[in-house]
Amino acid sequence: MITLRQLRYFEAVARHLHFGRAADECGISQPALSQQIREMEAILGLPLVERGARRVALTAKGTEIARRGLKILGDVRDLTDFARHGASVLSGMLKLGVIPSVAPYVLPRVLPRVQQTYPTLELQLRETRTDQLVDELLQGQLDLVLMALPTGEPGLDSRKLFEDRFLLASRAGAAVDETRLATPDQIEPERLLLLEDGHCLRDQALRYCGIARTERMNGFGAASLSTIMQMVANGYGVTLLPEMCVEVEARDARIALTRFAAPEPSREIGLVWRSSSPRRHDFDAFGDMLVAAIGETRSAS
């Protein structure tokens, strides 16, 4: 019978496609991890991994077993949550993932409220790209993810919290008419500044502007909106800025913001969790706090 430990080791190998990095993550030596994977293969009676001199790849069966193992690990996490969390709402550990284009603009508004309302909640935060957060959620490494919807993944549930409209950010100057509504055809592909590949905000901007990746796109790709807005302020291009980020990222007088003509581009921000999780009441309570915090900020602005 294969063990949960072996499943965790194999999941790390499947994700990294590298025995050394997987072993480092799991906190064991590479020979010990390799031995566990070989024992797992012997129990199942089939090869899971193709081992080459310079590369590691999963076999067809290994890919399917990795997918099924991911669900098992998530279910085990949910079983543990069911045992640990009783009737009390938002107590104990909650591992929250947040995408980078949301975390700096929402968390400062909601974290003080969390501490005041639920003092026994131990919140752990993880900020990274959408695809990584979804993988970690499915594995049971995260309980909840705050991200742009939809996920497109089976086995996950979600709750929409609010709509976040986009504005066109450009360098202020005589050539910018801030009273005129912007349209996507006004955006030149070579002038559009975007986050690097893997960020959902990049894909949303490209879809709205109708720009294919093969077109004459600007080769610049940033890891943060702050970097992009500095580029915009200095006249290197334009970008689509989420409305929630305006207060932080558009304080520079050199930046002009223009509304888009209807239908305005926007993204749906919401919470995502495993369908099998027993903590729906926790997630709803957390979502209610987020909605209240954002609503208060918008009313004050």
pLDDT digits (tens, 9 = 90+) for 57-82: 999 999 999 888 888 888 887 777 77
CATH, domain range 163-266: 3.40.190.10
The average confidence (pLDDT) of the chain is 88
In the three-class reduction of DSSP (H, G, I as helix; E, B as strand; rest coil), residue 163 is classed as strand
The pLDDT, as a whole number, for residue 107 is: 93
So what's the pLDDT on residue 86? 55
Please, where in the chain does CATH 3.40.190.10 lie?
88-162+269-300, 163-266
Residue the block writes with tokens 């930046």: 255
Architecture of the CATH domain 88-162+269-300:
3-Layer(aba) Sandwich (3.40)
* Helices then strands, each counted (H, E), the chain: 10, 11
User: What's the predicted TM-score (pTM) here?
Assistant: 0.75
According to the model, what pLDDT value does residue 89 have?
80
Helical (H) or strand (E) element with 74: helix 60-84
Parts of the chain belonging to CATH 1.10.10.10: 4-82
Does the pLDDT of residue 91 top 70, yes or no?
yes
Question: Which tokens sit at 178?
Answer: 């801030």
CATH code for 4-82? 1.10.10.10
Q: Which residue has the higher pLDDT, 205 or 158?
A: 158
What confidence score (pLDDT) does residue 78 get? 77
Give residue 248's Cα distance to chain centre: 20
